[in-house]
Structures are given as structure tokens and as C-alpha cells.
Amino acid sequence: MGNNSKGTLIIVESPAKARTIEKYLGSGYVVEASMGHLVDLPKSRLAIDVDKGFQPEYITIRGKAKILKGLQKAAGKSSAVLLASDNDREGEAISYHLKNAILRVKPDVPIKRIIFNEITPQVIREAVDRPREIDEAKVEAQKARRILDRLVGYHLSPILWKKVKNGLSAGRVQSVALRLICEREQEIESFVPEEYWSLEVELRKGRAAFRAALVEYGGKKCELRSQADCDRIIAGLHGREFRVCDVKETTKTLRPRPPYTTSKLQQEAANRFGFTSRKTMQIAQQLYEGVDIGSGRVGLITYMRTDSTRVSAVALQEVREFLAGHYPEELPEKVNVYASGSRAQDAHEAIRPTYVANTPADIKSSLSADQFKLYSLVWERFVSSQMTPGRSSTTTVEIGAGDALFRSSSTSVIERGYQKVLRVLAPKNVQKSLPKLETGELLEALRFHPEQHFTSGPARYTDATIIKTLEEKGIGRPSTYAPIISVLLDRYYVVRRNRQLAATQLGRIINNLLTENFSELVNENFTAEMEKRLDDIEGGNESWVNVVQEFYRDFKPQVDHVMETLESIKGVLDEPTDLVCERCGRPMVKKLGRYGFFIACTGFPECRNTKPVPLADCPREGCDGKIVARRAAKGRGREFYGCTNYPECDFVTYDKPTGSTCPRCGRFLVAKEDRQRGSYKACINPECDYLHTHEAEDKSA
């Protein structure tokens, strides 16, 4: 801890933020970091007195006592203390507990709270000059959320331990997200791809060739179900003239999009760069807290947890001055204003650069590759949001031939407008050009292009789409989207497969238990309403005790009923096998662990022998091995499936065996998924062309 010599002590959450702010304020100020929460509920017990108004029992977090004592000591040497944790519920609670802890040992030290939305010299100095009291309502909202989550976790977890498996846990908001992921998985599994075809004709005018798609036949919308349908139409058009029957030109205004909220930034980073929501928030935190860009450390973006598109008047003036100097023709007469969502708390501005003059190109050398990507998104989205719209022109041509009507279109940009500033966010212009055509013109038909497709089933959630869904349903808040996903992954209720979130067998079991016995708790409307009530507490319109009391009044009897009546499925999932443990001679069983199913010795804990579950017989001729799931060294990398006789047999596939065998050749079937067919099963034998669908299943039964 620094020597204050009766200066002012400022306490922030992270060392990076502390370094940035200390440089701005200079002498007379010492900035220290609390490293997040120092006081919380103990992990070892409920620590909530349900009979005395649900009063929580807070303690110093294990391992944080040294930090807290250091801050108390530094406060004693200071003339004043300013608490500068993040401007949200968690940050307010951190400041509240810090204030109480300091006053216990130094009751005469003046303590105030300061808040800011960006870490820049001017904003930090203004915050220091305008300290305020701690927002008690915000602290109470955090207290209510923490107590609700503790009550749920400490009452549901014992049910899972007793009825399912030791070591499991369940959370209030995460369980709703798990339900959404499990329901999507069920939709995917029940989906049966249907075949359909499209038909295009390649036409030529002079030297220019282009394609047109069949849209109508015999005056009706055309639905092609097979190649025979295509062949019939092609035969009917043999020798027919292809003539232009209509040419239309339409213009479209391309409006800029608002600056980012937390969820929109996470979605964009996931879609553009494949960033997980956790990674996006980690990088955003770095940009917010400060990066050395040569002229010193500077916070590059505003606070990254927000649901608002609002922008300060100072920032709007700055970006308009920037545009006047660099893009004068794209500067609108008035400021562009964007409406925030109906559920937005509007506590913070949108995410924007602190200084528009710090263009991505100018500071690229000071940023890591990932920091540059994310900063570019924020900078481009903000600057473009205050520029004029673009305009595009679309030409649509309809061509008649016999009973068929074909259509083709091309789009070109008339005015780029806000798109002039976009680099990372630049739209991919896959433009199809058409020759100049007029009504009545005759065209030469070169060839037909029939193409087979399959209807696509629902896609698994990704970080981007689950966050979008949670936001639309009012579940969670900007600060919780990333932790919700992280908790489900950490508990192995969900795994990532090719950037998609898939429920594990364990996750499905937990979801089934919760939906069947605690349907209200995992109901998305109930959870959204609870979020609204927490907002009401923060707004001073609701009592935290009432909210917790009403919840617990219905929840506790249900917990007791389920604990008493629910049949245990502990061990029910264990399946006997014909395998014998080679170490001790006891029989082995198939068990469910946190990583999925595995084979274990019944002599546990004396014998700890385990094996992966055989998924299929090895397809190699003459090999008697089994196919099991494997990972690269130290469990990293993509899961693959290989033979137990390795290295004698080196058979490997990345496609997961399904447990079904091919009715044509007897080899095993694997799960496949693509955009054309959706989810389906196919034979592992490369010489067998068996495509497994429900229709084929019925015929082979």
C-alpha cells in the first residue's frame, strides 16, 4: 500500500484501473484495488436467517483478509476515502461493504462514493469533485439477488445430491438458460429433413450471362419436391422463348445502426470473430480500464455493461466535429437518436470510444490483435451511428417462358453514407450484375441448373443467439449474460461443439428434474418478472424483504415436498456390463460422471479403475476393438473417436457414433449435420452411400 501522508485514498476494483486513474490525478491521491468483492456470504452454510427477516451473515472472503486489512490501514492514513467500484449493483455492494469494514476500525474517516462511465482525465477529475453517498437501494437490489440465488442453490443442490449424484448444483437464472438449450436440443433431434429442389436457368444477352430462378409455374408458386419435378418442367420448356416481361427498379435507404449495448457487442464479436461472451467481456474490461497507447495509459471505451443506446452530449459534439473534418458530406444536420429497449435500465451510456480521435488505425500498434478487433467494432459502430444513411438500388427482372416465370435481381450502392467509415464492419458485397434489359427483350437460354436441398432444422444456440434470446425474454442483465453461459459450461451441463452450445446427458437429467418438479422456478416469465422486481428494488419502489419473502413462501414447501416424495435415481443410470475389471476381477458398470458416461469398477473406492464407454465395434476388417471417445494429450482439443486397439489399429473419426447400425452393410452410423440436410445419420463406411432418415428407418424396419 502506498504512503498517503493524509492525502485522499481512492479504492477501485482492479490494479489496471488503479494504475490508469493514479496517473490522471497525480500527487495528493493514492489509488488502490480491492480485487472485486472482499465481503460475501460464506460458502459452507446458508448464512441467511429466514426467521429474522432473511438477514444475511456476511464474512470476509477467505484469502481476502490481507487485502482488506491493507485498505483499512491505508484509509487510516488518509484524509478521506473515495470508493470508486463499478457503477452497477455489484460495484455498489462492494463499496457498501468496504465502507462498513473501514468504519469499524477507522470510524472518523470521511468516506464517499464516486462513479464514472469512462476512465479519462476529465471524467475522473469531475467524479472526484462530485462525490456522493452510497446508493442504498442499489445495494438492497444486489442483496436481494444474492439472497435469492443462495436460497435456490442451497435448497436445490441437496435434492440433486440425494436424488441424482453427489457434487451437483443448480442456479436460479442458469436453470432457465439450461431449459432453453435442452428444449432446442429436443427440437433438433425430432426434426426430420425434407427434400426440395430449386431450378435456375442460365440466360445470355450478347456476351453477358446471368442466372434467373424459377418462382412460378402455371400461375402458382412453384414447389419442387424431387428431381423428377425439375425434369418435367425442363422438358416442358424445351424450345420455348425466354422473354423479359417486367423490369423494376427500387431504391432502399440503409440506415446506420445504434452504438453497442453489452448484449449486441457480445453477439457481434461472437458472429464476426468467434469470441465467447466471456472473452469479449475480458477484452472489453481491458479497453475500459486502460491501455498504454504511447502517450500514456488511457481508458479506450466507456463502461461495457449497459443496456442503453444513450450517448452523452459531449460525446455527440466530439463525434460530429470528427465527422466534419473527415467525412463532411456524411454529417447529418441533426444528431441521430436511437431508442433503447423497453426493458433497458438506462443506467449507463452505450459502449463507445472515449476519444473518437483515437482511430483503430492510429492505435493499432499499441493493442493486441483481439483488443484491436473489439475496439474497431466499438469505434466503427459509434462513429457510423452518427452519419447519414446510405442508399442502394435494386433491379428486379422477370422472365417468362411457357408456363414458367423466372426472376433475377441485382443490387448496387448509390450512396455509401455511413458505410464509408466501416472497415471491420463493412458489409460483404456479393453483387450479382445484370445486363441492361428491357421489357419484351428475347434472351438465349444456355442451360438449366437444378439443385437438391434439404430443409434445415433449428440450429443449436451459440453464445450470440442464447444472449439474444435471454435479452428478448428479459432474463438476466448485461452483467450476467457471460456468467450464465460460463456456469453451465463449468458444471458440464452444457458443452461447446463447433461454437454451438449442446446439452450434455447430465444437463438433460438436471433439466428434466427441475422442469418436472420446479416448473415455476425455471419458467422464463417468472424469471423475467423477478428481474423486473429487482429493478424495482433498485428504483426504490419495492422492498427487498418482501420480494425474498414472497419467493421463499412458495419455494420452501415445494422443496420439502420434492425432497420427501421424489424417487432417487441415484445409481439408476448405472448399467451393468459384461466387462470384468482386469485389476481386481470385480464386474464393471456404466456410470454417469461430470464429463459424461464412463465404465467404472464396482470395487470403488478400493479399486479406481475406469475406462471410456465403447460406442461401436471397430469397422476395420479383422479388428475386434471398440470405438471410444478420446481427446488429445491433457484433454485439450477437439474430441475424436478411435479404436481401443491403438496403436495396432489407427482407425479415427471425428463423427460421433450414434449407437445404430447401418441396415445395408452392418457398420455403425454416425451423427452428421450440415446446412443442406440439418441433423442426420450416415454410414461410417465410405463405400456405403446410406443416408439415414426417419423415412429410411421406417422402410428398413
Closest by CA position to 400, among listed 430, 442, 432, 435: 442
DSSP reduced 3-state for 119:
coil
Closest by CA position to 380, among listed 483, 268, 514, 461: 268
Pairing of strands 208-217, 404-415: antiparallel
Which residues, in sequence order, are bridge partners of residue 260? 351
Q: Residue 487: which residues within 8 A CB-CB, separation 6 or more?
A: 171, 174
Which residues, in sequence order, are bridge partners of residue 56? 48
Q: Are 399 and 408 in contact (CB under 8 A)?
A: yes
Whole-Å CA distances, 497 to 78, 195, 501, 554: 53, 26, 6, 38
Question: Where are the strands (E) in 105-221, listed by range?
Answer: 111-113, 195-205, 208-217, 220-221
Question: Where are the strands (E) in 402-441, listed by range?
Answer: 404-415
How far apart CA 392 and CA 409 sit, in angstroms, is 13
Crossing angle for the helix pair 136-163 and 505-517, to the nearest 10 degrees: 110
**Residue 356, phi then psi, degrees to nearest 5:** -60, -30
How far apart CA 643 and CA 614 sit, in angstroms, is 9
| Residues with catalytic function | 303
Whole-Å CA distances, 154 to 457, 475, 534, 570: 38, 21, 20, 19
How far apart CA 579 and CA 611 sit, in angstroms, is 10
Strand order in the sheet with 640-643: 616-617, 626-630, 640-643, 652-653
**Residue 151, phi then psi, degrees to nearest 5:** -60, -45
**Residue 205, phi then psi, degrees to nearest 5:** -125, 115
DSSP 301: B
How many residues are there in the chain?
A: 701
Planar angle of CA 472, 423, 304, nearest 5 degrees: 40
How far apart CA 79 and CA 92 sit, in angstroms, is 22
Closest by CA position to 249, among listed 365, 409, 102: 409
